Amino acid sequence: MLDRLQSLEDRYDKLNELLSDPEVISDTNKLREYSKEQAGLEDVVQAYREYKDVTTQLKDAKAMLEDNLDDDMYEMVKGEISELSGSKEELEEKMRVLLLPKDPNDDKNVIVEIRGAAGGDEAALFAGDLYRMYSRYAETYNWKTEVLEASSTGVGGYKEIIFMINGTGAYSKLKYENGAHRVQRVPETESGGRIHTSTATVAVLPETEDVEVEVHDKDIRVDTFASSGPGGQSVNTTMSAVRLTHEPTGIVVSIQDEKSQIKNKEKAMKVLRARIYDKFQQEARAEYDETRKSAVGTGDRSERIRTYNFPQNRVTDHRINLTIQKLDQILTGKLDEIIDALLMEEQAKKLEQIGE
For 235-281, how does the pLDDT look when each residue is reduced to its tens digit (9 = 90+)? 545 678 888 888 888 888 888 877 888 888 888 888 888 888 888 77
> What proportion of the chain, given as a percentage, has pLDDT over 90?
32
Most confident range, picked from 90-104, 167-181, 293-307, 341-355: 167-181
Mean of per-residue pLDDT scores for the chain? 83
Give the span between the Cα atoms of 65 and 73, in whole angstroms: 9
Amino acid 287: pLDDT: 54
The answer, yes or no, to whether residue 101 has pLDDT greater than 80, is no
Q: What Å distances lie between residue 281 and 174, 175, 178, 205, CA to CA?
A: 16, 13, 13, 10
Amino acid 84: pLDDT: 92
Amino acid 333: pLDDT: 93
The answer, yes or no, to whether residue 302 has pLDDT greater than 70, is no
Amino acid 213: pLDDT: 65
Side chain identity, residue 116: G
The per-residue pLDDT for range 180-232, each reduced to its tens digit, is 999 998 887 666 678 888 899 999 988 876 545 677 788 888 888 876 654 44
How many CB atoms sit inside 10 A of residue 339's CB? 17
Least confident of 69-78, 165-174, 287-296: 287-296
The answer, yes or no, to whether residue 15 has pLDDT greater than 80, is yes
Amino acid 232: pLDDT: 44
| 310: helix, strand or coil | coil
Amino acid 3: pLDDT: 83
Side chain identity, residue 308: Y
Average pLDDT on 290-312 reads 65
Least confident of 94-98, 124-128, 330-334: 94-98
Contact of 331 with 129, CB cutoff 8 Å? yes
The per-residue pLDDT for range 304-323, each reduced to its tens digit, is 899 999 999 999 999 999 99
Amino acid 57: pLDDT: 92
For residue 48, which of 120, 117, 96 has the smallest C-alpha distance? 96
Amino acid 55: pLDDT: 92
Higher model confidence: residue 190 or residue 153?
A: 153
Average pLDDT on 279-295 reads 56
Exposed (0-12), middle (13-18) or buried (19+): which is 216, by Cβ within 10 Å?
A: exposed
Amino acid 72: pLDDT: 86
Average pLDDT on 160-189 reads 89
Helix, strand, coil percentages (3-state) for the chain, rounded to 5, are 50, 25, 30
Average pLDDT on 114-137 reads 90
